[in-house]
C-alpha cells in the first residue's frame, strides 16, 4: 500500500491553503507528498449559506496565500486576473467580495489539486500501524457513497474539518425533524417549506441576521420571529486597533499567555467573531421593523430577551414555550419551520482520534498546531481550526490560514529531516556491523 507523507482530512479553505503551501515548497526542494479526503462530493464552502447579497466579513487580502506569499499564483488577485475581472473588481472599491465570488475563488484554487483529493469519502477511523513497540504510520479508513471502504497509510495527519452544527439542549429531542434545521443547511431545507407562513430564526449572529433578511425578501406573506437572549443585536467591531487581534503575530502573544490571560482575551474580544453581524445588516433589519411601525402592521417580530424553555413537535407545527426575561412570563408560539442559527462545535476531531487517543498526553497542541504524543508514537498529528483556546479567535477564521499552513509545513519539513537523519544513522550502523 502506498505511504503518503501527509494525509489531510477535509478539503476546505485550511487544507486547500496547506496544499498550496506544500506545492510551493516543492520549488524549494521539499517534496512532501500529500493527499486529502473530503466527504462532500465536490468542493463547496458553506453552500447553503450562499445567500444573495451576502458579502465576506474578512478582507480578500486574507485569502489562501497572500499573507504568506504575496507573489503566489493562488492569490485572490491572480484569480481575478485569470478570470478577466481584476479591473472591474478594482472599480467596486471594496475589500469585501461577495460570498458567491469568494466561494468561486476557493473552488478555482481547489481545482488545481483534484489529482490529490478524494471527494465523496468520509473518514471513519484513524488506526495505528505498529512496528515492534512503535507506532510508525497511521491507517486512514474512509467510506464512499457506495459504502466501499478504502484504506490509506500516512506518516503524518492534519485534521481540518471545520465545525459541526451546534443544537441547543431544548431542541435535542427534535433532531431529524424536517421542520427544524440548522443554518448550515438553510438553503436546502428552506426549499422544502415553500408554504411556511410562520418561521422562527433562533440566534443573534451574522447567520441569523442574513437568514432573517433572506426570509423577509423571499415571500411577502411569511412572518418571521427573530429570537435571541440578548437585549440588542450588537455589531462586529472591525475598528483598526481591535482588528489587530487577528494579526498573525498576535497568535504568538495569545499562545505564550497564561491560561487565565488567554481566557480574558477571548472574553474581551468575543463579540468580534460571535453574535456580531455587520452594522449595515443590522441597519437593514432595524429598517424593516421601522417600516412596520410606519405602516401599522406587524409581520415580523424581534423577540429579544427571550429564552426557549421547551420545543415540542405537534401536528400543526413546532411549539415553543418562550420565557420573556424582561417580564419573567411564559407564553407559547407555534411555527411552521425553525432555523437554528446557533453556531458550531469544533470538537469532532476527538471522535476521529478515539482509536489512537491513548498515544496522546492530552489534546493540547504546540505552537505549530501539533498534538503532543508519547515517545513511541512517531506520526505527527496537526489540527486546523480547533485551537481557538490556545491560539486565539483568529484560529477558526481566514485571517491566519495562509501563515498557519506555512508553520505546519515547516514542522513537517523538520520532521522529515529528522526521520531522514535517523534512517541514515541506522544505515551507517548496519553497514559498520556488517
The domains of the chain are located at 3-163+346-433, 166-236+273-343
Provide the residue-wise pLDDT of the chain in tens; the chain has 434 residues.
899 999 999 999 999 999 999 999 998 899 999 999 999 999 999 999 999 989 999 999 999 999 999 999 999 999 999 999 999 999 999 999 999 999 999 999 999 999 999 999 999 999 999 999 999 999 999 999 999 999 999 999 999 999 999 999 999 999 999 999 999 999 999 999 999 999 999 999 999 999 999 999 999 999 999 999 999 999 988 899 999 999 999 999 999 999 999 999 999 999 898 989 999 999 999 999 999 999 999 999 999 999 999 999 999 999 999 999 999 999 999 999 999 999 999 999 999 999 999 999 889 999 999 999 999 999 999 999 999 999 999 999 999 999 999 999 999 999 887 666 555 555 555 555 66
pLDDT value at residue 273: 87
166-236+273-343 shares the fold of 3-163+346-433: yes
Of the candidates 207, 248, 250, the residue with the CA atom closest to the CA atom of residue 342: 207
The distance between the two most distant Cα atoms of the chain, rounded to a whole number of Å, is 95
Q: What is the DSSP string of 245-314?
A: GGSHHHHHHHHTS-HHHHHHHHHHTGGGTSS---HHHHHHHHHHHHHHHHHT--SSEEETTEEEEEEEEE
CATH class of the 3-163+346-433 domain in this structure = alpha beta
Per residue, what are the HEC states of 390-430? HHCHHHHCCCCHHHHHHHHHHHHHHHHHHHHHHHHHHHHHH
pLDDT value at residue 433: 61
Place of cell 476521529: 352
Burial of 153 (0-12, 13-18, 19+ CB in 10 A): middle
Provide the terminal-to-terminal Cα distance of the chain, rounded to the nearest Å.
Answer: 30
State the fold for domain 166-236+273-343. Answer: FAD/NAD(P)-binding domain (3.50.50)
- Given a contact cutoff of 8 angstroms between Cβ atoms, the answer to whether 308 and 330 are in contact is no
Q: What are phi and psi for residue 174, nearest 5 degrees?
A: -105, 5
Of the candidates 346, 48, 333, the residue with the CA atom closest to the CA atom of residue 211: 48
Which three three-digit cell numbers place residue 303? 423577540
Amino acid at each position: 500500500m502506498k505511504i503518503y507523507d501527509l494525509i489531510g482530512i477535509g478539503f476546505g479553505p485550511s487544507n486547500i491553503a496547506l496544499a498550496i503551501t506544500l506545492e510551493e515548497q516543492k520549488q524549494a526542494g521539499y517534496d512532501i507528498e500529500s493527499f486529502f479526503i473530503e466527504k462532500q462530493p465536490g468542493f463547496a464552502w458553506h453552500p447553503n449559506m450562499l445567500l444573495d447579497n451576502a458579502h465576506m466579513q474578512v478582507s480578500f487580502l486574507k485569502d489562501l496565500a497572500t499573507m504568506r506569499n504575496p507573489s503566489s499564483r493562488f492569490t485572490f488577485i491572480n484569480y481575478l486576473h485569470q478570470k478577466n475581472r481584476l479591473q472591474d473588481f478594482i472599480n467596486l472599491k471594496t475589500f469585501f467580495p461577495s460570498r458567491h465570488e469568494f466561494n468561486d475563488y476557493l473552488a478555482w484554487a481547489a481545482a488545481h489539486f483534484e489529482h490529490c483529493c478524494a471527494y465523496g469519502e468520509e473518514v471513519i477511523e484513524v488506526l495505528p500501524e505498529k512496528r515492534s513497540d512503535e507506532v510508525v504510520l497511521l491507517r486512514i479508513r474512509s467510506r464512499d457513497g457506495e459504502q466501499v471502504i478504502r484504506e490509506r497509510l500516512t506518516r503524518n495527519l492534519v485534521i481540518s474539518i471545520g465545525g459541526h452544527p451546534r443544537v441547543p439542549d431544548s431542541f435535542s429531542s427534535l433532531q431529524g425533524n424536517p421542520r427544524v434545521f440548522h443554518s448550515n443547511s438553510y438553503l436546502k431545507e428552506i426549499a422544502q417549506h415553500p408554504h411556511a407562513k410562520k418561521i422562527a430564526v433562533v440566534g443573534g449572529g451574522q447567520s441569523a441576521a442574513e437568514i432573517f433578511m433572506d426570509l423577509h425578501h423571499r415571500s411577502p406573506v411569511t412572518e418571521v420571529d427573530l429570537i435571541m437572549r440578548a437585549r440588542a443585536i450588537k455589531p462586529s467591531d472591525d475598528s483598526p486597533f481591535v482588528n489587530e487581534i487577528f494579526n498573525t503575530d498576535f497568535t504568538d502573544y495569545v499562545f505564550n499567555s497564561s491560561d487565565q490571560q488567554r481566557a480574558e482575551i477571548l472574553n474581551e474580544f468575543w463579540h468580534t467573531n460571535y453574535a456580531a453581524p455587520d452594522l449595515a445588516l443590522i441597519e437593514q433589519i432595524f429598517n424593516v421593523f421601522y417600516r412596520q411601525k410606519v405602516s401599522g402592521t406587524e409581520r415580523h417580530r424581534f423577540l429579544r430577551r427571550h429564552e426557549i424553555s421547551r420545543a415540542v413537535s405537534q401536528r400543526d407545527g413546532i411549539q415553543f414555550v418562550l420565557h420573556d426575561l424582561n417580564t419573567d412570563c411564559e407564553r407559547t408560539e407555534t411555527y411552521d419551520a425553525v432555523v437554528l442559527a446557533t453556531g458550531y462545535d469544533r470538537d469532532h476531531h476527538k471522535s476521529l482520534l478515539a482509536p489512537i487517543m491513548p498515544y496522546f498526553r492530552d489534546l493540547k497542541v504546540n505552537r505549530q498546531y501539533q498534538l503532543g504524543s508519547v515517545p513511541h508514537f512517531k506520526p505527527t498529528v496537526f489540527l486546523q481550526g480547533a485551537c481557538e483556546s490556545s491560539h486565539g479567535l483568529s484560529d477558526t477564521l481566514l485571517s491566519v490560514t495562509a501563515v498557519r499552513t506555512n508553520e505546519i509545513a515547516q514542522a513537517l519539513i523538520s520532521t522529515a529531516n529528522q526521520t531522514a537523519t535517523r534512517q541514515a544513522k541506522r544505515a551507517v550502523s548496519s553497514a559498520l556491523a556488517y
